[in-house]
């Protein structure tokens, strides 16, 4: 569902970002702003600020910033629509749904009701399993032998499913209720009799929670060596293995404290690691790591360490995780791969070597860039031309998964060095567009040209989109944009000729000023938090966001700065118009602009310009 922008703006006008952030972060008044310890990365000195005037938060340490909606998305890991609905409910605002047909609204309401009913059923089952654990000395003894304390079992909601075939019949009044089957708790036989029985029997039960803490499924582990060792809930309307991570809800605070997420292979790894001081561990749910898993983790941290056994199966799992992680490996994220000795999993390694040794192993984990090279070199004899050619063929599909940026450029150079050819030759070999000139040609380029940024710094390749060039933040148009986007009322204080001057600036500035003019006419002055939402989908959205991200101080409310910018810019703008008039042969327009240019220069000199 597309939520109308006018509603988002109204919601942000009602929601005070200071009050919302203050629910989760201890804030202290510091001048015009509030500050506190950033909830998104570990720090001891506050670098996290919240601006009441801009209705915006910004961390100077990790760079996270946004409005009240953005904060809740980052902190809880929930999606945009979910946060908007929750926030709207808090402020008593009904979310408009007029853009959907009655049939679509009815279907969405039915799906929402079904999900709520299923999570209620699963929560009741989780409560029952916890009670059964208390009454099972055998299950308690198993957990104790695995070193799981009562406190950790409580925090993760561990339980026990008894041996009986229909234990849940004593929990739910109607064992034939279709929701028991829809939630994955009960299996219905395919024969004519349709015999029903519990899916989980004689197993330690691990409730799987979503980022809001709702039980959406279970993992069950046998107490002995029977097969299958682990049994998971099936796919249901509320549970999708490829999207969920076990322990993520419990690990949220530890992720910020430790500064990274540790991805393991099983439920017991997560629980055991939490017991041993590594509560920042999560696990995939009996399936290979997916891009959705990695994307969800990067909502909570910028650093992920994948932990695998050192055997062949662990290497295969690591290769799948590598493929899932590469498209999300931006220049500000860290992705590493930890391979333990074949005889150890994280639990046994820590017990044998100690927590300090495990932390050192994590720090020494293989960076993504090196693992790409290692994976590509597998089964290749790098001492022969044939082996290096095979390596280049293996590396290409991996490298092409990376987003454009400094990491991709450096890795391209590393691959070329391993193949023993130049970067330009490798680009040509791979058929990359925009290949750089060879070093010899660059060496003979004119001195002025050698100062330009060229070459493989950000190689372009289909189908990836090259990063947009950044405009120098010192430009007058850039500073004017920062002012009018963050100082409500500043646009209305300008004259019509001022508006025209700004709207005629080159892209991205002119289109943004013109867009702002329409926003002010339609909605009046708005804080940046509301403007940010209205910008979504605008062709120059990225340029506006970058301008505000580069703003490290509060905008001075003194309107003279903007007027000074306009006085300096007006003669330049008039000269450009006059040059364009001459080029078009419009002598009349050129002559009509001469008096304006003279007045603009006089005003600039009187203001102390030039």
pLDDT in tens, 485-518: 888 778 878 887 788 888 888 888 888 988 888 7
Residue 304 or residue 588, greater confidence: 304
Alpha-carbon distances of 301 from 25, 88, 105, 331, 488, rounded to whole Å: 17, 27, 35, 14, 33
Whether residues 206 and 116 fall in one domain: yes
What's the average model confidence in pLDDT over 578-591?
74
Number of domain units in the chain: 5
In this prediction, residue 149 has a pLDDT band, given cuts at 50, 70 and 90, of very high
pLDDT digits (tens, 9 = 90+) for 191-204: 656 789 999 999 99
State the pLDDT confidence band at 41, using cuts at 50, 70 and 90. confident
Q: Provide the mean pLDDT of the chain.
A: 82
Q: Cα(542)–Cα(507) distance, rounded to whole angstroms?
A: 12
Query: Do residue 114 and residue 217 come from a single domain?
Result: yes
Output the domain CATH number for residue 63.
Answer: 3.90.580.10
pTM: 0.63
Q: Minimum mean pLDDT among 310-324, 356-370, 456-470, 526-540: which range?
A: 456-470
Given a cut of 50, is residue 446 above it in pLDDT?
no
11 in the same domain as 74? yes
Overall average pLDDT of the 396-414 stretch: 92
Give the Å distances, CA to CA, from 157 to 52, 144, 213, 541. 39, 15, 11, 44
Domain membership of residue 98 (yes or no) is no
Confidence tier at 554 by pLDDT (50, 70, 90): low
pLDDT grade for 393, boundaries at 50, 70 and 90: very high
Residue 443's region, left for phi above 0, alpha for psi from -120 to 50, else beta, is alpha
Same domain? For 403 and 359 the reply is no
Mean pLDDT of 538-566: 75
Would you tell me how many other CB atoms lie within 10 Å of the CB of residue 109?
11
Q: What is the mean pLDDT of residues 135-152?
A: 93
Q: At residue 95, does pLDDT exceed 60?
A: yes
pLDDT of residue 610: 34
* Residue 609 pLDDT greater than 60, yes or no: no
d(CA 16, CA 34) in angstroms, rounded, equals 13
Segment among 83-92, 135-144, 303-312, 441-450 with least mean pLDDT = 441-450
Task: Assign residue 303 the CATH number of its domain.
Answer: 3.40.1360.10
E-only strand ranges, 223-293: 230-232, 261-264, 281-283
Lowest mean pLDDT among 107-116, 259-268, 363-372, 403-412: 107-116
**Tokens 């439920």 belong to residue:** 267
* Inside any domain, residue 82: yes
For residue 476, pLDDT over 80 is answered with: yes
Q: Are residues 438 and 485 in the same domain?
A: no
Inform me whether the pLDDT recorded for 247 exceeds 60. Answer: yes
On whether the CB atoms of residues 378 and 418 are closer than 8 A, the answer is: no
pLDDT at 450 over 70: no
CATH number of the domain that 140 lies in? 3.90.980.10
Lowest mean pLDDT among 241-245, 269-273, 486-490, 554-558: 554-558
Is residue 425 in some structural domain? yes
Range of the domain at 581: 476-606
Query: Is 222 in contact with 229 (CB distance < 8 Å)?
Result: yes
Same domain, 343 and 390: no
Mean pLDDT of 118-136: 95
Does some domain include residue 463? no
- Report residue 573's pLDDT band, with 50, 70 and 90 as the boundaries: confident
Query: Of the spans 336-345, 394-403, 556-565, which averages the highest pLDDT?
Result: 394-403
Domain shared by 180 and 143, yes or no: yes
Say yes or no to pLDDT of 466 above 70: no
- Is 50 exceeded by the pLDDT of residue 459? no
Strands of the 281-283 sheet, one edge to the other = 281-283, 261-264, 303-309, 334-340, 366-367
């Amino acid at each position: 569902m597309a939520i109308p922008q006018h509603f988002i703006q109204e919601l942000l006008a009602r929601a005070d970002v200071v009050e919302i952030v203050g629910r989760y972060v201890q804030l202290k008044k510091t001048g015009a702003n509030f500050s506190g310890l950033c909830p998104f990365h570990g720090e001891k000195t506050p670098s996290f600020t919240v601006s009441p005037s801009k209705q915006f938060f910004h961390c100077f340490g990790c760079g996270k910033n946004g409005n009240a909606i953005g904060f809740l998305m980052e902190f809880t890991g929930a999606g945009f629509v979910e946060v908007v609905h929750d926030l709207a409910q808090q402020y008593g605002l009904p979310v408009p749904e007029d853009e959907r047909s009655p049939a679509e609204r009815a279907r969405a309401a039915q799906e929402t009701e079904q999900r709520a009913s299923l999570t209620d059923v699963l929560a009741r089952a989780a409560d029952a399993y916890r009670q059964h654990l208390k009454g099972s000395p055998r299950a308690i003894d198993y957990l104790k032998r695995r070193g799981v304390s009562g406190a950790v079992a409580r925090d993760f909601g561990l339980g026990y499913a008894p041996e009986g075939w229909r234990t849940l019949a004593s929990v739910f009044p109607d064992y034939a209720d279709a929701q028991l089957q829809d939630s994955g708790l009960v299996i219905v036989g395919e024969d004519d009799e349709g015999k029903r029985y519990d899916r989980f029997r004689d197993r330690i039960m691990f409730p799987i929670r979503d980022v809001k803490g709702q039980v959406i499924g279970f993992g069950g582990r046998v107490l002995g060596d029977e097969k299958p060792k682990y049994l998971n809930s099936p796919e249901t309307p509320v549970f999708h293995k490829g999207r969920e991570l076990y322990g993520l809800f419990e690990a949220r605070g530890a992720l910020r404290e430790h500064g990274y997420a540790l991805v393991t292979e099983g439920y017991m790894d997560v629980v055991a690691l939490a017991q041993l001081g590594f509560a920042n561990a999560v696990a995939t749910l009996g399936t290979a790591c997916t891009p959705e898993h990695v994307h969800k983790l990067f909502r909570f941290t910028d650093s992920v360490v994948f932990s695998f056994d050192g055997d062949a199966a662990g290497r295969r799992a690591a290769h799948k995780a590598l493929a899932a992680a590469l498209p999300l490996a931006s220049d500000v994220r860290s992705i590493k791969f930890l391979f333990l000795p074949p005889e150890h999993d994280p639990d046994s390694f820590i017990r044998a070597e100690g927590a300090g040794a495990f932390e050192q192993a994590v720090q020494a984990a293989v960076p993504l860039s090196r693992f790409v090279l290692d994976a590509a070199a597998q089964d290749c004899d790098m001492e022969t031309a044939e082996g290096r050619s095979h390596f280049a063929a293996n590396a290409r599909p991996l490298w092409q998964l990376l987003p454009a940026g400094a990491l991709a450029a450096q890795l391209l150079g590393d691959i070329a060095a391993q193949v023993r050819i130049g970067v330009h030759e490798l680009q040509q070999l791979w058929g990359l567009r925009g290949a750089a000139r060879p070093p010899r040609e660059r060496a003979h380029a004119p001195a002025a040209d050698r100062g330009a940024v060229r070459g493989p710094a950000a190689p372009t390749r289909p189908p990836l989109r090259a990063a947009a060039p950044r405009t120098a933040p010192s430009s007058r148009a850039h500073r004017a944009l920062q002012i009018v986007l963050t100082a409500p009322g500043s646009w209305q204080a300008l004259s019509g000729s001022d508006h025209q001057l700004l709207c005629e600036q080159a892209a991205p500035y002119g289109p943004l000023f013109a867009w702002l003019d329409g926003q002010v006419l339609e909605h009046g002055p708005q804080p940046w938090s509301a403007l940010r939402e209205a910008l979504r989908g605008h062709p120059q959205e990225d340029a506006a966001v970058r301008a505000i991200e580069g703003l490290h101080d509060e905008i001075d409310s003194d309107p003279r700065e903007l007027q000074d910018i306009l006085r300096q810019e007006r003669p330049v703008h008039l000269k450009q118009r006059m040059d364009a008039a001459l080029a078009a042969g419009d002598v009349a327009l050129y002559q009509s602009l001469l008096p304006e240019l003279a007045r603009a220069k006089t005003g600039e000199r009187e203001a102390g310009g030039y």
